[in-house]
Structure formats: structure tokens, C-alpha cells
Amino acid sequence: MAEVQNLRRGDVYEEDNAMWRVIDHSHIKMGRGSATVRLKVRNVRTGSTVERTYNNGERVQDLELEVHEFQYQYFDGDHYHFMDTVTFDQVALTPGDLEGISGYLTDGQVVMGELHEGEVMSLKLPTTVDLEVVWADFAVVGDTAAGAPTKQVELSTGLRIQAPMFVKVGETIRVDTRDGSYVTRVKG
């Protein structure tokens, strides 16, 4: 059992026969009343997000998730297939299960997976990935009047991001997986 005031972003707990992942938390102390903890949580299975308020000191059943390495194998049109690098078990996940990380997956990439009772709950990417630019907007000299000099580029996975004007088709760039931002060019 864990006290709600000790829960932090990313922690998972069980309540009402559902598993909840903490997205955001805030500790609220008003006047003479007792403190409360407001959590924004996401249902691990359904993906629905709700806000819950608890009194300071309340306890919830925290869950310890197993962490395994998974290697991305392929996408068959309906499912993304991964292999556990230790047991060699195959896992098939739908695009909805990946919560927007599919644009960063490349063949053979290793990701960390969280499991509960043998079921994959989530996958975590490395902080940055290197991807090849396959299409880029044309850069026009003097086209910086609207602010920072960036253009849209498409990467080998189909992901589109904003990158500096000097990025060209065929180059490899490093992308931050947390927010999809350009980091740097990768020298090949």
C-alpha cells in the first residue's frame, strides 16, 4: 500500500478493479482544512483519463511492474510485433496500445516494456532516436519573416516534424521522442 501523497508521475496503482497510471499530481493545502491530493490518472487498459481527489494520508494499492526489453520486429497492417529479448516470446500490439510512439519505431529497435501478470502495459522509447529524412519542404532564402527558420520534414517512419531550414533529404537527424522535436543532425 502506498500513500497518495507519495505517488509521482508514471507510478501505477490499482483501485476499483482497474489499473491507473499517474499523469500529473498536485498537493493542495487550503487554510485550516486538511490537505488533499489531486491526481490526473489514465486507465492503463482503456486509455481513459480522469481526475481523482484523495485526502492526505489515504492509501492505494501500488503495483510493481516487471520491466523487460523488447525488440521491434515488424508491422503487419493491424499489429506491431515485438520480441522479448530474453524469453524470445512474441507480442502483438495494436496502434492504440502504443499511444503515439509508432512514429519513432525502426526495425530492430529495442524498447523497454512494462508487464503486469504477463500482459504488456506500456512501452518506453529511448529519449532520442535517429531517423532518416525522406522528404523536406523547400527552403527559400529570406523565408524567416514569420519567426524561427524551420520547415516541415518527413522521416523514414512517416512521422512529420519541424526542423531547421538546412536539413536535407537523405540526412539522418536525431529526434526527441518526448515531444517530437528536432535535436541535431547525425554525422554518418
Identical topology for domains 66-124 and 128-186: yes
For residues 55 and 62, what is the distance between their CA atoms, to the nearest angstrom? 17
CATH class in words for 2-62: mainly beta
What integer pLDDT is reported at residue 105 of this predicted model? 94
CA angle 168, 128, 124 (to 5 degrees): 140
What integer pLDDT is reported at residue 15 of this predicted model? 93
CA angle 147, 184, 113 (to 5 degrees): 115
- Read off φ and ψ for residue 60, nearest 5 degrees: -130, 160
Q: Which three cell numbers stand for residue 44?
A: 492503463
> Which superfamily does CATH assign the domain made up of 128-186 to?
Nucleic acid-binding proteins (2.40.50.140)
What integer pLDDT is reported at residue 4 of this predicted model? 92
66-124: which CATH number, 3.40.50.2300, 3.30.70.380, 2.30.140.10, 2.40.50.140? Answer: 2.40.50.140
Name the strand (E) or helix (H) holding 132.
strand 128-136
Which residues of the chain register pLDDT less than 70? 140-148, 188
| pTM attached to this predicted model | 0.77
Report yes or no: 69 and 114 within 8 Å, Cβ to Cβ.
no
Kindly list the domain boundaries of the chain, sorted by start residue.
Answer: 2-62, 66-124, 128-186
